[in-house]
Structure 1
Amino acid sequence: MAKYDERFKLKLVRQYLAGPDGFKAIAAQYGVGYKLVQRWVASYRQHGQDGLRKKRNPYSTEFKLSVLLRMWREGLSGEQTAALFDIRSPGCIGVWERRYHSGGIDALSPRPRGRPKTMPQAIPPKSPAEPVADDERPRKELLKEIEYLRAEVAYLKKLDALVQAKKAAQQKKRK
């Protein structure tokens, strides 16, 4: 659900267009940000009442690129460009621009939203009924396990030394 419905936006826009009140006065009267009222008025002037309706369609890569090219060509700000192309969130134009500069046109393509549809295939666990003897395992695997176990022992020794040092420091503080 949108925070502000279309009727509310239209009411504020018409009040701005009809009277001497400015963006800040109207925004303060209704408890909204003046930039928001300014954006609604610009969108209304450019697209009429349709400019105040909620949009749900994602933007294509070609559309994003055409928006950026026109903005650069005509030297428009992000807000002016958003009003011109009926983009409800002018901040996304800056995001598109940064993505384009960092990754080119491929960075503008829509990304999949949400979690992946399927879980990755898990590696089946080895059955405990068939333990592999150490002499049957490859030498590289055994060396890797030895290296891991040595690192684990060294880590635990270091952790124990830190705990002992902390206890000793607390003992000194108490005295």
Structure 2
Amino acid sequence: MGHFLWKEKKKYDYAFKLECVELVLKKHYSDGYVSRLKQIPRWNIRKWVSFYNTYGEIGLLPKINQSYSAAFKLKVLKNIEKESLSLMQAGIRFNIPNIAIILKWKKDFANFGVEGLQPKQRGRPVSMSDQKGKKSKSNKPLTREEELLKENERLRCENELLKKLQALIQARRNPKP
């Protein structure tokens, strides 16, 4: 069983994704075979097949400069926690092909709460001259309650990470046949 190493993230066009999906669904090739045949990561094949099965051909179209509201991000994160969804499962359910962005939302929420999920303005500010020497964070100290909430969220995330690490260690010690 050969393993491929991919060092850079590539963007694949719609036709290529559809061709790979059709090899799996219509020709009944395995995702591993298509991965080796096309020299691409197996998880890409699985992801494209899942999106295709859920959304049809539209699920393979790129989402260019997609912007998500804070409410939508929070909904995704709550569903992940409530239903113990993987990032891939959440991506498929909410039509978010780039699952790394969901991981970023989790980190932003853990560090900054709901405020961290607010859409960020893209690009360079119109005028940067008045920004020199100023701190980006407010000088206003956090209230004791805000400090405790932030620490609580940080500890919750740390606990979740440790649980996942422990599960990974157990899975490696006791591989299932």
Q: Which residue of 1 aligns with 2:113?
A: 104
Cα distance, 1:63 vs structure 2: 0.7
| Partner Cα distance (2:99, 2:17) in 1 | 17
Structure 1 ranges of 4+ moved more than 6 A: none
CA 1:111 to 1:19, structure 2 compared with 1: closer, same or farther past 3 Å?
A: same
Q: Which residue of 1 aligns with 2:59?
A: 51
Alignment partner of 1:27 is 2:35: yes
Task: Provide the alpha-carbon RMSD of the alignment.
Answer: 1.9
| Partner Cα distance (1:40, 1:122) in 2 | 43
Alignment partner of 1:93 is 2:102: yes
Q: Which residue of 1 aligns with 2:18?
A: 10
Q: Percent identity?
A: 31
| Partner Cα distance (1:10, 1:115) in 2 | 37
Cα distance, 1:122 vs structure 2: 9.7
TM-score (norm 2): 0.64
| Partner Cα distance (1:97, 1:53) in 2 | 25
TM-score (norm 1): 0.65
Alignment partner of 1:71 is 2:71: no
| Partner Cα distance (2:13, 2:114) in 1 | 35
SS class of match (2:97): coil
Cα distance, 1:121 vs structure 2: 4.4
| Partner Cα distance (2:113, 2:130) in 1 | 33
CA 1:23 to 1:105, structure 2 compared with 1: closer, same or farther past 3 Å?
A: same
| Number of equivalences | 122
| Partner Cα distance (2:46, 2:131) in 1 | 53
Amino acid at match of 2:91: A
- Compare CA radii of gyration and give the structure with the larger one: 1
1:61-94 deviation line (CA, Å, top 9, x unaligned): 1110111111111111000100111101111111
SS class of match (2:74): helix
